[in-house]
Structure 1
């Protein structure tokens, strides 16, 4: 087999493995990565490098692998746009956290969203009380969106931060 074709096939296999693994292991808050998330990404990329390029550590081998990943990602995005069933299989749906002032505690617990995070998102949107929330969603990108019944309130986009310690104690 052509060595570059081998790299292309290996890279595509690793790509689909990663897409499926991320889908199975749940919604990641990619907009706010913490230290453990960055370490995981670095370790995964290091662990799958040899699986993609094998013994070929040349510049061309790396470029072929990267090109294959870009191409398969481009094609997959086009297919997801065209075929909604594929898109719904690969992407998670937004989750309703609050509907007409009623909090879905089971969903909050399942997603690991604390009441403090929910209140912070509401305050970022200018909403003080749960009863004023028409809808609150955890979006597919990990952000919390709030829709209030009040047209005078500014609707903003809250980026969910994961709780983690910093050196100076300030996030």
Structure 2
């Protein structure tokens, strides 16, 4: 019964292992590219499940105790919360972790090098634009590949206004 509760590895070792594996996976997914994030297929889901199984022993050092599992899980949840907070709080962290948006179309012209860099085909670009109700690339003022892997488009016929024009006038309440 004591093996169920008492971890084989020390708690600091379990925490360190979880931190290292989390950082490695974060880096690996960042290198994999933003395109993969928005277009997850069944193959991607299988890959994530296999990766989670592959790194399990790296995190828990073969420790199958309840405490070891809870320490590892709590460390991963805490790391995930800290990364969320850090990306919200500091723009530099957000850019490093998530990346910057990439412009793939300007004034109806495709940035071929950007498509190539992100492994995005012309057919995929056209498909994403059709989903936004845009039938031709030439109808776009700007198309941006966002850090989360989605494509956002601004049509040429859409007026863009300044913040001053869009700001709601402050209402005065007298009472």
Q: TM-score, normalised by structure 2?
A: 0.77
Contact 1:27 1:140 in 2 (8 A): yes
1:95 equivalent in structure 2: 102
Mind listing any 5+ residue stretches in structure 2 that lack a counterpart?
1-7, 160-175
CA offsets, 1:43-93, max 9 Å, x none? 211111111111311222112111100101111221222222222112111
1:6 aligns with 2:17: no
Q: Which runs of 4+ in 1 moved over 6 A?
A: none
Contact 2:9 2:63 in 1 (8 A): no
Aligned residues: 152
CA offsets, 1:24-44, max 9 Å, x none? 332242233223312221221
Measure how far apart 1:115 and its partner are: 1.9
Q: TM-score, normalised by structure 1?
A: 0.79
Contact 1:121 1:146 in 2 (8 A): no
CA offsets, 1:78-111, max 9 Å, x none? 1222222222112111111111111111211222
Mind listing any 5+ residue stretches in structure 1 that lack a counterpart?
153-171
1:123 equivalent in structure 2: 130
Mapped to 1, the partners of 2:138 and 2:32 lie a distance apart of: 33
Q: What's the secondary structure of 1:44's corresponding residue? A: helix
Larger Cα Rg: Structure 1 or Structure 2? 2
Measure how far apart 1:2 and its partner are: 7.0
Paired residues for 1:31-110 under 5 Å: 31-110=38-117
Mapped to 2, the partners of 1:54 and 1:28 lie a distance apart of: 33
